[in-house]
Amino acid sequence: MKVGEEGELLTRGPYTLRGYYRAEEYNRRAFTPDGFYRSGDRVRKLDNGNIVVTGRLKDVVNRGGETFACDEIEEHLLAHPYIQQAAVIPLPDKVLGEQVGAAIVCADKTPTLQMLHDFLTDRGLATFKLPEQLNVLSHLPVTAVGKIDKKKLLKHENQ
């Protein structure tokens, strides 16, 4: 990987698992042919040789063949003055494959989906990345380590 380039973090070493028990198909996807574990973390190499995690490869929306990171849209949403927390998740779509779902937590005022479209468009976000569904919540579910639990959000959206 060249300096400044992004790619997936691959790991291998004495403390890295070598495979999942009785899961040959999963192992073919989770490991490279030469034994490196595919972490799913997107990283960028710095000038000094260090790497910085920039997001997750698996935390993406694939809408009509356009694949983009959820965290890009989340950063734009968090710039909105009414929004305190935001999470973007891919939602199933029969025509496009996936569509953009956004869950937000607001302090006082709550923007409408059209207000968010206008805001995001003004920030230069491409039209195909605009949320198609908006869910306003009192709080976002979190995992045991305090990260937003997108699996729970997805279950909530599909109910």
Confidence band for 155, pLDDT divided at 50, 70 and 90: confident
- Total count of domains within the chain: 2
pLDDT value at position 158? Answer: 61
pLDDT value at position 10? Answer: 92
Domain assignment present for 1: no
Same structural domain, 32 and 78? no
Confidence band for 6, pLDDT divided at 50, 70 and 90: confident
Same structural domain, 52 and 64? no
User: Is 159's pLDDT higher than 70?
Assistant: no
Kindly state the percentage of the chain with pLDDT values over 70.
97
Same structural domain, 48 and 77? no
- What are the pLDDT digits (tens) for 86-114? 999 999 999 998 999 999 999 889 999 99
- Average the pLDDT over each of 23-27, 36-40, 79-83 and give the range with the smallest value: 23-27
Same structural domain, 103 and 139? yes
- Geometric angle at alpha carbon 87, from 82 and 91, rounded to 5°: 125
**CATH number (domain holding residue 124):** 3.30.300.30
pLDDT value at position 137? Answer: 95
**CATH number (domain holding residue 21):** 2.30.38.10
pLDDT value at position 66? Answer: 84
Does residue 59 contact residue 150 with C-beta atoms inside 8 Å? yes
Same structural domain, 72 and 107? yes
Same structural domain, 48 and 117? no
Domain assignment present for 126: yes
User: Is 37's pLDDT higher than 70?
Assistant: yes
Torsion-angle region of 19 (φ positive above 0: left; ψ -120 to 50: alpha; else: beta): left
Using alpha carbons, select from 48, 54, 148 the residue that is nearest to residue 104.
148
Question: Residue 113 sits in which domain range?
Answer: 60-157
